[in-house]
Structure 1
Amino acid sequence: MTVGSATPIEIPTAGRYRIDPRRSTLAYTGRHLFGLGTVHATFQVLSGEVVVADPVTGTTVAAVVDAGSFSSGNARRDRDVTGAGLLDSDAHPEIRFTCTGTRQDGDRWLLAGTVTAHGVSVPVELAIDRCAREGTGMRVHARAEHLDRHAFGVTGGRGMVGRHLDLDLDVVADPA
Structure 2
Amino acid sequence: MTAEVIVTTTTTRPKPGRYVIDVPRSEISFTTKHMFGLGNVRGSFRLRGGTVSVSEPLTGSRIHAVADAASFDTGNKNRDRQVVSKALLDTATYPDIVFTSTRAEQGEVGEWVLPGLLTAHGVRVPITFTVAKASVHGDEIAVEATATVDRYAHGITKLKGMAARRLWLTATVRALRDNGSPA
TM-score range (shorter-chain normalised) is: over 0.9
Letter in 2 for 1:100: T
Residue 176 (structure 2) aligns with: 174
Whether 2:133 is the aligned partner of 1:133: answer: no
Whether 2:99 is the aligned partner of 1:97: answer: yes
Cα deviation for residue 41 of structure 1 reads 0.4
Which SS does the other structure have where 1:34 is aligned? coil
**If the length of structure 1 is used for normalisation, what is the TM-score?**
0.93
1:91-135 deviations in Å (ceiling 9; x for gaps): 100000001111012342000100000000000000011100234
Residue 24 (structure 2) aligns with: 22
CA-based RMSD: 1.3
**If the length of structure 2 is used for normalisation, what is the TM-score?**
0.90
How many residues were matched structurally? Answer: 171
**Are the aligned partners of 1:11 and 1:131 in contact in 2 as well (CA < 8 Å)?**
no
Once residues 131 and 15 of structure 2 are traced to their aligned partners in structure 1, the CA distance between those partners, rounded to angstroms, is 17
Cα deviation for residue 13 of structure 1 reads 1.6
Residue 117 (structure 2) aligns with: 114
Gaps of 5+ in 1: none
1:7 to 4, 8, 11: 4
Moved over 4 A (4+): none
Residue 162 (structure 2) aligns with: 160
Which SS does the other structure have where 1:79 is aligned? helix
Cα deviation for residue 165 of structure 1 reads 1.1
Q: Report the identity percentage.
A: 42
Once residues 139 and 125 of structure 2 are traced to their aligned partners in structure 1, the CA distance between those partners, rounded to angstroms, is 33
The structure with the largest strand share of the pair is: 1
Cα deviation for residue 47 of structure 1 reads 0.4
1:5-64 deviations in Å (ceiling 9; x for gaps): x72265322111000110000001111000000110000000000000000000011010
Once residues 74 and 64 of structure 2 are traced to their aligned partners in structure 1, the CA distance between those partners, rounded to angstroms, is 25
Once residues 19 and 31 of structure 1 are traced to their aligned partners in structure 2, the CA distance between those partners, rounded to angstroms, is 29
Residue 68 (structure 1) aligns with: 70
Which SS does the other structure have where 1:80 is aligned? helix
Once residues 134 and 89 of structure 1 are traced to their aligned partners in structure 2, the CA distance between those partners, rounded to angstroms, is 36
